[in-house]
């Protein structure tokens, strides 16, 4: 941020652990929300007005969205037409706190291979393609937003910017700010930060605008563990299965949705010939609630602890109580090796979501 002269803000959809927000606030000057509830968490626990982008705003919520946001990005021109009168009225009544509005565009370029995470699939509902915009940004709009990256490096950003500029370059000249969304994995080892800085500086110089980035994953990349205990070990048609007191479906849903195989501390990621090897089962009765296989140095036993790595971003925010399984407790393991238990769940948390 210091070198590039940009703003990097937290995307709550990836990381909403508000007990850790005091640390986030030491570094980041803002946060972005994708719902009214996330907006409230930003206001209450970071003390910021939100940069808000919701694919479609609801009439009954919009007045509160206005009260609580500094920037509002619209996903379509029809949404802008529907709400621009309310924005204008708000800004006229609050000249000391003008809300800056933007439009999400679809640059029709993404290197994300999984369709589930690719906002540029044909017919995507996320952002407007160039054909919808004329030669001028709609009157009253100041910003352009795009989000097409997912756990990418700055080389992908460079190619994405070429596509963006080829389609929207003239409109970038009219904009006050460009929000380049998330997916910039700038805390991953090997990420080329100097290229990112160079790209941002070039954009600022060429178009004379502010640049905002809103990563989620990068803020919490490899910051936390999910620990589990082996409850049972059984043999099934030649396969050793260890059943854990956690669930891939309920506690690590991205492992099944994305899908990806999480790393376990001290375990071999791929099964190794001749070593104790297990398929790991979750504790729900969903047939697909398993992961594996992994090999271990020593045979697992009932009571063995397995520690899943990198289980903060998009994990804590996505847990469910499917099957009535309890949610994992949340705590902070500090650098002085003390552990602060922040939250435990129980029957009430499960019941609260039902009726
Ligand atoms: C609009 C928008 N901004 C930011 C993000 C955060 O992306 P990431 O966590 O990959 O950095 C997302 C993720 O889906 C998003 O949709």
pLDDT (mean) for 220-242: 97
CATH number at residue 185: 3.20.20.10
Determine the distance separating the centroid of ligand 1 and the alpha carbon of 324, expressed in angstroms.
Answer: 29
Which residues surround ligand 1 with Cβ inside 6 Å? 11, 13-14, 53, 147, 150, 181-183, 214-218
Number of structural domains found in the chain:
2
Whether 140 is covered by a domain: the verdict is yes
pLDDT at site 54:
98
What band does 319 get if pLDDT is binned at 50, 70 and 90? very high
Whether 145 is covered by a domain: the verdict is yes
pTM above 0.85, yes or no: yes
Per-residue pLDDT tens digits for 165-223? 999 999 999 999 999 999 999 999 999 999 999 999 999 999 999 999 999 999 999 99
CA distance 315 to 333: 17
Pocket test for ligand 1, best of 126, 214, 218, 317 (most atoms within 8 A of CB): 214
Query: What whole-number percentage of the chain has pLDDT above 70?
Result: 100
- Check whether residue 286 and residue 206 sit in a common domain: no
- Check whether residue 179 and residue 268 sit in a common domain: no
pLDDT (mean) for 226-245: 98
pLDDT at site 132:
95
pLDDT at site 342:
97
**Positive or negative, the Cα torsion across 310, 314, 320, 326?**
positive
pLDDT (mean) for 16-22: 97
Domain end, chosen from 201, 220, 239, is at: 220
Protein residue with least CA distance to atom 10, ligand 1 = 183
- Check whether residue 29 and residue 117 sit in a common domain: yes
Domain end, chosen from 199, 220, 241, is at: 220
Domain that holds residue 179: 7-220
Per-residue pLDDT tens digits for 259-292? 999 999 999 999 999 999 999 999 999 999 999 9
Q: Which atom of ligand 1 is nearest to the CA of 185?
A: 11
Domain end, chosen from 172, 196, 220, is at: 220
The answer to whether 281 and 289 are in contact (CB under 8 A) is: yes
Q: What letter does residue 63 receive in the DSSP assignment? A: H
Q: Closest Cα to residue 149, out of 95, 191, 94? A: 191
pLDDT (mean) for 13-42: 98
What band does 315 get if pLDDT is binned at 50, 70 and 90? very high
Interior/surface letters 189-226, b for 16+ CB within 10 angstroms, e for the rest? eebeeeebbebbeebbeebebbbbbbbbbbbbbeebeb
pLDDT at site 105:
98
- Check whether residue 151 and residue 13 sit in a common domain: yes
Q: Which atom of ligand 1 is nearest to the CA of 314?
A: 9
Determine the distance separating the centroid of ligand 1 and the alpha carbon of 19, expressed in angstroms.
Answer: 21
Whether 1 is covered by a domain: the verdict is no
Q: For residue 285, which phi and psi values (nearest 5 degrees)?
A: -95, 15
pLDDT at site 100:
98
pLDDT at site 311:
97
How high does pLDDT run on average in the chain? 97
């Amino acid at each position: 941020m210091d070198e590039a002269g940009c703003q990097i803000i937290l995307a709550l959809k990836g990381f909403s652990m508000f007990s850790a927000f005091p640390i986030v606030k030491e570094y980041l000057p803002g946060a972005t929300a994708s719902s009214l509830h996330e907006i409230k968490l930003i206001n209450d626990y970071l003390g910021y007005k939100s940069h808000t982008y919701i694919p479609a705003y609801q009439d009954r919520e919009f007045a509160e969205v206005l009260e609580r946001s500094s920037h509002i990005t619209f996903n379509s021109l029809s949404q802008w037409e529907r709400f621009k009168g309310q924005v204008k009225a708000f800004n006229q009544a609050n000249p000391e706190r003008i809300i800056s509005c933007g439009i999400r565009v679809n640059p029709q370029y993404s290197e994300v291979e999984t369709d589930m995470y690719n906002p540029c699939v044909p017919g995507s509902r996320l952002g407007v393609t160039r054909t919808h915009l004329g030669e001028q940004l709609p009157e009253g709009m100041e910003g352009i937003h795009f989000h097409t990256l997912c756990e990418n490096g700055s080389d992908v950003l460079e190619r994405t910017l070429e596509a963006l500029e080829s389609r929207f370059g003239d409109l970038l000249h009219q904009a006050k700010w460009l929000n380049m969304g998330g997916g910039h994995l700038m805390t991953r080892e090997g990420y080329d930060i100097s290229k990112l800085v160079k790209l941002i500086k070039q954009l600022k110089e060429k178009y004379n605008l502010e640049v905002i980035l809103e990563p989620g994953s990068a803020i919490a990349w490899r910051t936390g563990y999910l620990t589990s205990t082996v409850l049972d070990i059984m043999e099934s048609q030649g396969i050793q299965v260890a059943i854990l007191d956690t669930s891939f479906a309920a506690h690590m849903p991205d492992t099944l949705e994305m899908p990806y195989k999480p790393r376990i501390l001290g375990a071999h990621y791929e099964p190794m010939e001749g070593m104790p090897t297990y398929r790991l089962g979750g504790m729900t009765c969903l047939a697909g609630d398993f992961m594996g296989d992994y090999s271990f140095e020593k045979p697992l036993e009932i009571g063995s602890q397995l520690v899943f790595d990198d289980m903060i971003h998009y994990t804590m925010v996505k847990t469910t109580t499917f099957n009535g399984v309890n949610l994992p407790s949340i705590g902070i393991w500090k650098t002085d090796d003390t552990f602060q238990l922040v939250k435990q769940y129980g029957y009430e948390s499960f019941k609260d979501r039902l009726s």
